[in-house]
Structure 1
Amino acid sequence: MGHQWHELSKTAPLPGLYLQAVRKRKISGTTLPITGLHCSLEVNAERLAAYRTLCHFGDDPLLPATWPHVMAFALHLQLLTAPAFPFPLLGLVHLSNSIQVIRPLGGVSRLRFAVRVENLQAHEKGATFDLITEACDSLGLLWSETSRLLCRGVKLPGEPSIEPEADALPLSELTRWYADSTIGRRYARLCGDYNPIHLSALSARLFGFPKAIAHGMWSKAMALAALRGHLPTSGYAIEVSFHKPVRLPSEVILDASPVAPAGQLRLSGHGGLVHMQGTWRTLEAP
């Protein structure tokens, strides 16, 4: 069954969306809605410059590959807090994120987004689904993203699927950075993701975390900035799985395989704690 698309002229205000998220605390069903959202959004040059600084991208004529995710964040919230969406937003766990840069992200001032959910599957801890985001310019599809999210406690028929692990490549340290105690609040102010687990130790403890944790998409953005010499300007995919959260403050280490059309990365803490693992690969020509 195809999706039914709602055309939006602008995104909804974030405070109202967060209020809806707080009000919904229970699972209301086991069927994903077929409604999707379309919206055209302008690139905010001031926010983009601040994002480049925060995530260490530096000056570049191309948009960071994670920037369309930030642009579409309010659309994500609007879709995931709609009455037809069966799971509470608070408590969803971001398991993985895959981005495809199909054409160079240069000379872009406006993008048309399409956001939808699909692929509901059983998981050993509940159920997973994919949040799909696509960004187009006047020539067509430019960028796409799949975020896999887990809702604990959902009961679905069938057995959880097991994805095969890729053979490990030799990795060496590429860089390291210090995630200070304020990074969650600074990322939230810029990108709109005010999940309490990222803001302070006090608010994080309300959700079972002893300390505030870094946003997963900040960690991915920092890794992408460090991997610029490994990746082409377009025609590639980079996927990461989020493991142990980065507790704030802490130092993390990014290891990567050598420059090649396909490679692997790992973000670790001291003592061998793995926070994030991922792969990149070039896309086949259409």
Structure 2
Amino acid sequence: MSRQWQDLHSPDSRASLYLRAASKRKISGHALPTGGLRSLIHVQPGNLEAYRRLCHFTDDGRLPATYPHVMAFTLQLQLLTSHDFPFPLLGLVHLHNRIDVLRPLGGIDELRFAVYADNLQAHAKGGTFDLVTEAEDGLGLLWRETSRMLVRGLKLDGQADDSQEHAPSALPEMTRWYADTDIGRRYAKVCGDYNPIHLSAISARLFGFPKAIAHGMWSSAMALAALRTHIPTSGYRFEVAFRKPVRLPSEVILSASEAGPAGELRLDGQGGLLHMGGRWAVL
């Protein structure tokens, strides 16, 4: 498919994009737009340092592999709230996240991002699509992320996919951390993701959650930071499937394989509740 690109000097303000998101509550179509957005985005050193502190990354001279997601977040918002995007942003569920680090993420002041939606499929609970984000430097493609999103209530022709992501078997415990009541608000302040389900119990209940839940990408980043000595510095894939949400506050336990070119991880809550399963592998 020949994709048509819209090049932006910079994304719109997050405030205007969230207002646009709040105004759309219903599904308006059954086909993804064929275009995508591109923009040059600069690293903000203060924001990068705040992100490292929040997610426990050490400063090793490279961007954390999850940080380009933060850099591109407003561009993603603009795509998902565009007039031709058929699904409301509020209510989308992040099921799976895959990040490919093709080359080392060091010495970077800016990246050129491209964002588009692809791969619409029927699902037992509605439909899914992939939100694809790519980052280039002067040498070409450097980093790629694919986020699988669930649209609840969408009716599509075709066989519904009701398969569950592979759940890693028992693994040795590596570390644990406590997800405070306000971690959703602190993550939103740094990363810009102000989804109401993460901010407070009151706002979460408006969307069917009894308590606020942690951002999936915060849990993923915390796991990646803890696994920094297990995973190569480049030329690898890191992917996670989000299972049961982490209700705030709560303690979680990260278990993982030994260091090596490939391995598995899982994030559990008390009572054996699986919050996240994942894996890494060299490309």
TM-score (norm 2): 0.98
**Aligned position for 1:255:** 255
Change (3 A) 1:94 1:12: same
Residue 171 of structure 2 is matched in structure 1 by 171
Distance 2:56 2:267 in 1: 16
Q: In the alignment, which residue of structure 2 is the partner of 1:95?
A: 95
Q: Displacement, 1:160? A: 2.0
Residue 50 of structure 1: aligned partner: 50
Measured on the aligned residues, the alpha-carbon RMSD in Å equals 1.2
CA distance in 1, matches of 2:256, 2:172: 6
Deviation sequence 1:197-217 (CA, Å, 0-9, x none): 000011111111111100000
Counterpart of 2:15 in structure 1 is 15
Structure 2: distance between partners of 1:22 and 1:211: 21
Asked whether the equivalents of residues 100 and 144 of structure 1 are also in contact (C-alpha less than 8 Å), the reply is: yes
Distance 2:218 2:164 in 1: 26
- The residue number in structure 1 matching 2:150 is 150
Structure 2 portions without partners, runs of 5+: none
| Residues 166/199 of structure 1: CA separation in 2 closer, same or farther (3 Å cut) | closer
Query: Could you say which residue in structure 2 is the equivalent of 1:229?
Result: 229
Letter in 1 for 2:33: P
Look up the SS of the partner of 1:176 in the other structure.
Answer: strand
The answer to whether the 8 Å contact 1:242/1:276 transfers is yes
Alignment pair present for 1:33 and 2:33: yes
- Give the deviation of 1:168 after TM superposition: 4.4
Residue identity over aligned pairs, in percent, reads 66
Q: Find the aligned partners of 2:155 and 2:192 in 1 and give their Cα distance.
A: 31
Tell me the secondary structure at the aligned position of residue 271 of structure 1.
helix
Partner of 1:115: 115
Tell me the distance in 1 between the aligned counterparts of 2:210 and 2:114.
Answer: 36
Quote how far apart the aligned CAs of 1:65 are: 0.2
Give the AA of the match of 2:111.
L
**Contact 1:29–1:87 (Cα < 8 Å) also in 2:** yes
The residue identity in structure 1 corresponding to 2:143 is: W
Aligned residue-pair number: 283
Listed as ranges, the gaps of 5+ residues in structure 1 are: none
Contact 2:223/2:254 (<8 A) preserved: yes
TM-score, scaled to structure 1: 0.97
Task: Assess if the C-alpha contact under 8 Å between 1:170 and 1:257 holds in 2.
Answer: no
Q: Residue 159 of structure 1 corresponds to which residue in structure 2?
A: 159
Aligned to 1:24: 24
SS at match of 2:63: coil
